[in-house]
Amino acid sequence: LRCSCFMAILSLAYVGLSRPLSRRYTSKWIYYVGLILLWGYLIPFRPSILIRVPRDVIAAMPAAASGPIQEMQQVEASTLPITTAQGNPTAGVDLLQLLWLCGVLVVLAFQTYRHIRFHAGLRRWCSNADDQTMQVLDEAKATMGVKQPVSIMLCSCISSPMLVKLTKPTILLPDADVDEENITMVLCHELVHYKRKDLWIKLLLVAAVSLNWFNPSVYLLAKTVMLHCEISFDEAVVRNRG
């Protein structure tokens, strides 16, 4: 809880400064700063390092030197968990931990359900792309330097292009008539998603939101990070163009 509250302060500062900073810096660097904050949410516990000194060593040390060590022992003793008369941990702490864990499981289950339902709809509404679109994809892959296999399909149930599937990357295009130049730009954008492993980043975002489901700032951070993610990919596509 302490770590999540500390990350909330940093996240609110990041969100508030992202717009003014975008006037001086590219969205790529703002996006990378957001990813650093993301790791702060992914590690909900910070390790505490305690140095233990044997009692015989303390007894052999001068009184002036043993003073700080005695203070450390007092601080260490004061950090022990409060216990009841029976010696069990405080019931309130156990209840909060159980509540947090239940929230994590519920959010993960909900995200998993959405993922399964979405891919079930893809199998129903997607169709193979025509030869002309496949040729444009090959040209876009050559332009972006992508040599790995990437599939492409047309889907009538989506309103904007997207990249799906971690192991077998597939670009989904709305089933609508789009001129060749715009399709090339769209495909280059989605290939940048693939080159920068954006699907894995989104998976980490889901994990961060799940671990910090009680913290509103993590949802705001995820939205801001993905916004600058998309803008940074557009920057990469239009670089070196007219």
Q: How far is CA 81 from CA 47, 95, 161, in A?
A: 16, 15, 52
Structure tokens at 2: 């302490």
Three-state SS at 89: strand
| Cut 0.75: pTM above it | no
User: 174 by DSSP, 3-state: which?
Assistant: strand
Separation of alpha carbons 219 and 15, rounded Å: 11
Q: Give the end-to-end CA distance of the chain in Å, rounded to a whole number.
A: 49
pLDDT at residue number 84: 46
Strand boundaries in 67-224, DSSP class E: 126-128, 151-155, 162-164, 170-174
Within 8 A by CB and 6+ apart from 10, the residues are 37, 40
Give the three-state DSSP class for 212.
Answer: coil
| pLDDT recorded at residue 128 | 82
Residue 85 has pLDDT above 70, yes or no: no
pLDDT at 72 over 70: no
Q: What pLDDT does 223 receive?
A: 92
Q: Model confidence over 180-237: pLDDT tens digits?
A: 668 888 888 888 888 888 888 889 999 999 999 999 999 999 999 999 988 888 888 8
Q: What is the mean pLDDT of residues 34-53?
A: 77
Percent of the chain's residues with pLDDT above 90:
21
Is residue 222 classed exposed, middle or buried when 0-12, 13-18 and 19+ CB atoms within 10 A define those classes?
buried
Question: Residue 113 and residue 132: Cα distance in Å, rounded?
Answer: 35
| CA nearest to 155, candidates 125, 178, 176 | 125
Average pLDDT rounded to a whole number, residues 130-155: 86
Among 237, 229, 238, which residue's Cα sits nearest to residue 28?
A: 229
224: tokens are: 């801001």
> If pLDDT is split at 50, 70 and 90, which confidence band does 101 have?
very high
What pLDDT does residue 47 have?
Answer: 66
